[in-house]
Amino acid sequence: MLYHPTVARLTQRAILGRRRALILLLLPVLLIVIAIVVRALVGADDEVTADLLGGFALATMVPLIGVIAGTGAIGPEIDDSSIVYLLAKPVPRPTIILTKLTVAVGVTAAFSALPTLVAGFILGGNGSRLAVAYALAAAVASVAYAAFFLMLGTISRHAVVFGLVYALVWEALLGSLVDGVKTLSIQQWALAVGEKIGQGGHVVSDVALPVATVLLVVVTAGATWFAAQRLRSLTLAGEE
Amino acid sequence: MTTIRIDSVSRWFGNVVAVNDVTMAIGPGVTGLLGPNGAGKSTLINMMAGFLSPSTGAVTLDGVRIWRNEQVYKQIGLVPEREAMYDFLTGREFVLANAELHGLGADAARKALATVEMEYAQNRRISTYSKGMRQRVKMASALVHEPDVLLLDEPFNGMDPRQRMHLMDLLRQMGAAGRTVLFSSHILEEVEQLAAHIEVIVAGRHAASGDFRKIRRLMTDRPHHYAVRSSDDRALASALIADPSTAGLELDRRDGILHIQAVDFARFTELLPRVARDHGIRLYEVSPSDESLESVFSYLVAA
């Protein structure tokens, strides 16, 4: 059994708790508002579409939502140790992690890939092709981000901080300055997948597709395996 | 018949030894794990519940290792000390989720909620619950699969007397039905009322084991220290030292206090007022100077 509906229900309600849901909605709404304004002021322009979907949607929105959903799927439960109720059950730990991952991927994709697609269509023009390319990249990135940040959630109480450092400092800042860093960037790997579809030079990745695919699979599978191991030996030290 | 066996178990955190070479077996019936705060009770329970690995030694359930073995939870129900639950759920949703994770359904959840008498508030969010209500819902979540073993970490904390009695009845019934029930507490009276068998843990070490009469005797037979103020400390001292129930006397003339060490508690408590009356000495103050739980327990370790 790879999926447990009860675990999924609990995880989903935890991630989409009132305040968290508002934060999750903030960026997608902003993206769509900008798309509407740009379309009204500039008209259909592939250059602008690529800037907005690549620079904002994929580079900023997807990782941030990935951090919230990925760490939120397990971090708070470990933090307040309410995860005891989940773990004191004869449910295989990999099942718990895979279920939480599924929910985290679903939430990340719903709040990032879907709005990217919608924004792309709003921007119009050749945008529909670009929209599909970026939305697919966002969906692919959602999987890897969710797995990676979920793992961070099982490792550290400060998973959100580390997640933000990775997304904003490593990928966004260092990734734009240091060439080598781009090879180790979920965003670039996802772009490589989008590039295949986007055609026409607006979707560009610094990593070749085969390498990107292998790295995406390795990171996603490795992080998930490691998170399950962490859960198997989760320790409660008590309050003494 | 289910038995948890703790075999030469130690657990340390860095340089701090939380549990020091403990060996005990917890069998069917109600067992009380007694000890002062910080003695290592939670550490032991966490190891029995599979949420902590022993640094050395083995913790087993009927011979099967508990650590990293989720199948043991078919037989174990755990009531943790920590308050945190899925507060955004209602009590019913929470207990139902626990039942589903055991592969059970709404019937099991309903039964467990009825057992702890929480039906009346089952549709309220847990975040609105009082401490006693939370405790009962935690209890329902642990009972939902009718486990052979029930582990409870300080279950009576925050309960009012009526809830306490209700929970005690429940645990007694489970013990009488042949289930293995272990609960921790730092209050002797609590343990005494409920557990026929008591394990005492002090400063990480297994200090005593046996029925409550034996433990109670150990606790009352220890040397007691008293500070006494009277109208004539010196005369009182000379009269008391003649009796074998006192082992030592010290006259603190500056503060006007007589320090007494009594070795026979029952005899001394009868002796003191009689001696005072016979000698016409007025007792202004008699106070036990060494009654902290920690000192009581540390005496047990030495015994």
* B90 and B23 together in one domain: no
Q: Are residues B172 and B260 in the same domain?
A: no
Closest Cβ opposite residue B100 in set A6, A80, A90: A6
Could you tell me the CATH number of the domain that includes residue B192? Answer: 3.40.50.300
Domain check: are B113 and B260 in the same one? no
Say whether both B173 and B284 belong to one domain: no
B230: domain CATH number is 3.30.70.100
Q: What is the mean pLDDT of chain A?
A: 91
Most A CBs within 10 Å: which of B51, B83, B141, B154, as the mutation test of the A interface? B51
Nearest chain B residue to A237, by CA = B43
Q: Which of A84, A91, A95, A230 to mutate to test the interface with B (most CBs of B within 10 A)?
A: A84
Lowest mean pLDDT among B59-68, B90-99, B180-189: B180-189
Residue A10 in any domain: the answer is yes
CB contact under 8 A, A82 and B84: yes
* A96-110, A143-157, A178-192, B87-101: least confident range: A178-192
Give the closest-approach CA distance of B52 to chain A in angstroms: 5
Q: B183 with B128, same domain? A: no
Q: How confident is the model at residue B168 (pLDDT cuts 50, 70, 90)?
A: very high
Comparing CB atoms, the residue among B52, B88, B101 nearest residue A236 is B52
**A233 neighbourhood in chain B, CB within 8 Å:** 53, 67-68
**Whether residue B18 sits in one domain with residue B126:** no
Provide long-range contacts, Cβ within 8 A and 24+ apart, for A211-218.
A211/A183, A212/A188, A213/A189, A215/A184, A215/A189, A216/A140, A216/A143, A216/A144, A216/A186, A216/A189, A216/A190
Q: A239 falls in which pLDDT band (50, 70, 90)?
A: very low
Among A92-96, B141-145, B212-216, the least confident range? B212-216
Which residues from A are below 8 Å from B45, CB to CB?
238
- Work out the burial of residue B286: count CB atoms within 10 Å of its CB; fewer than 13 is exposed, 13-18 middle, 19 or more buried: middle
Residue A239 forms part of a structural domain: no
pLDDT of residue A38: 93
Q: Which of A150-159, A214-223, B94-103, B196-205 has the lowest mean pLDDT?
A: B196-205
- In chain A, which residue's Cα lies nearest the Cα of B51? A235
B34 and B182 co-located in one domain: yes
Closest of B273, B227, B269 to residue B245, by C-alpha: B269
Residue in the structure block whose two tokens are 């059970």 = B104
Report whether pLDDT(B184) > 50. Answer: yes
Backbone CA torsion sign across B274, B279, B282, B286: negative
- pLDDT tier for residue B301 given thresholds of 50, 70 and 90: low
* Domain termination residue (choose one: B167, B200, B219): B219
Neighbour-count burial for A77-109, b at 16+ CB within 10 Å, e otherwise: bbeebbbbbbbbbbbbbbbbbbbbbbbbbbbbb
Averaged confidence pLDDT in chain B: 90
Residue A238 domain flag: no
Q: How far is A218 from chain B, CA to nearest CA, in Å?
A: 26
Q: Contacts of residue B97 in chain A, CB cutoff 8 Å?
A: 6, 9-10, 85
**Nearest CA among A99, A90, A82 for reference residue A8:** A99
Is B46 in the A-facing interface, judged by CB distances under 8 Å? yes
| C-alpha closest to that of A215 among A134, A135, A144 | A144
Q: Is B137 on the interface with A (CB under 8 A)?
A: no
Please judge whether B84 and A81 are an interchain contact, meaning their C-beta atoms are less than 8 angstroms apart: yes
- Whether B160 and B71 map to the same domain: the answer is yes
State whether B196 and B61 are in the same domain. Answer: yes
pLDDT 10s digits, B38-59: 889 999 999 999 999 999 999 9
B115 touches A at CB < 8 Å: no
- Secondary structure (3-state) at A179: helix
Residues A77-87: what's their mean pLDDT?
94
In a domain, A224, yes or no: yes
User: Per the CB < 8 Å rule, is A239 touching B42?
Assistant: yes
Q: What is the pLDDT of residue B296?
A: 65
Domain end point (choices B195, B219, B243) = B219
B177 min Cα distance to partner chain A (Å):
23
Residues B123 and B31 in one domain: no
Is residue A129's pLDDT more than 70? Answer: yes
Domain assignment present for residue A151? The answer is yes
User: Is pLDDT of A223 > 70?
Assistant: yes
The sign of the dihedral angle between the CA atoms of B136, B141, B145, B148 is negative
Residue B211 sits in the same domain as residue B227: no
Look-up of token digits 């080598």 = A180
Compute the distance between CA of residue A75 and CA of residue A137 in angstroms, rounded to an integer: 26
Contact call for residues B193 and B168 (beta carbons, < 8 A): yes
pLDDT tens-digit map of B241-254: 988 888 889 888 88
Mean pLDDT value across residues A194-206:
82
Structural domain count, chain A: 1
How many percent of chain A have pLDDT more than 90? 72
Residue of A nearest to B84 (CA): A82
B282 burial (CB, 10 Å; 0-12 / 13-18 / 19+) is exposed
The pLDDT of A141-155, averaged and rounded, is 97
- A70 token code pair: 């990925």
ipTM: 0.92
Quote the pLDDT of residue B292: 56
Residue A237 inside a domain? The answer is no
Q: Is B16 on the interface with A (CB under 8 A)?
A: no
Task: Retrieve residue A221's tokens.
Answer: 């599978």
pLDDT classification of B290: cutoffs 50, 70, 90: low
Amino acid at B270: E
- Is residue B298 pLDDT above 90, yes or no? no
Task: Assess whether pLDDT exceeds 60 at residue B212.
Answer: yes
Express each pLDDT in A45-76 by its tens digit. 888 899 999 999 999 999 999 999 999 999 99
Domain count, chain B: 3
CB contact, 8 Å: B202 with chain A? no
Q: Which domain holds residue A163?
A: 5-232
Determine, yes or no, domain membership for A190: yes
Closest CA to B191 of B297, B32, B41: B32
Count CB-CB contacts under 10 A for residue A123: 27
Contact B52/A235, CB-based, under 8 Å?
yes
Q: What percent of chain B is modeled with pLDDT above 90? A: 64
Domain boundary among B121, B139, B157: B139
Maximum average pLDDT range among A61-70, A162-171, B226-235: A61-70
Q: Locate the chain B residue with the closest alpha carbon to A92.
A: B70
Give the predicted TM-score (pTM) of the model. 0.86
For residues B17 and B115, give the distance between their C-alpha atoms in angstroms, rounded to a whole number: 39
When pLDDT is cut at 50, 70 and 90, the band that residue B192 belongs to is: confident
Range of the domain at B90: 84-139
Q: Is A144 contained in some domain?
A: yes
Task: Pick A234's closest partner by Cβ from B39, B51, B98.
Answer: B51
On whether both B22 and B115 belong to a single domain, the answer is no
Is the minimum CB–CB distance between A1 and chain B shorter than 8 Å?
no
Which residue out of B44, B74, B86, B145 would a mutagenesis test of the A interface target, given it has the greatest number of A Cβ atoms within 10 Å?
B86
**Which of A156-165, B2-11, B187-196, B211-220 shows the lowest per-residue confidence on average (mean pLDDT)?**
B211-220
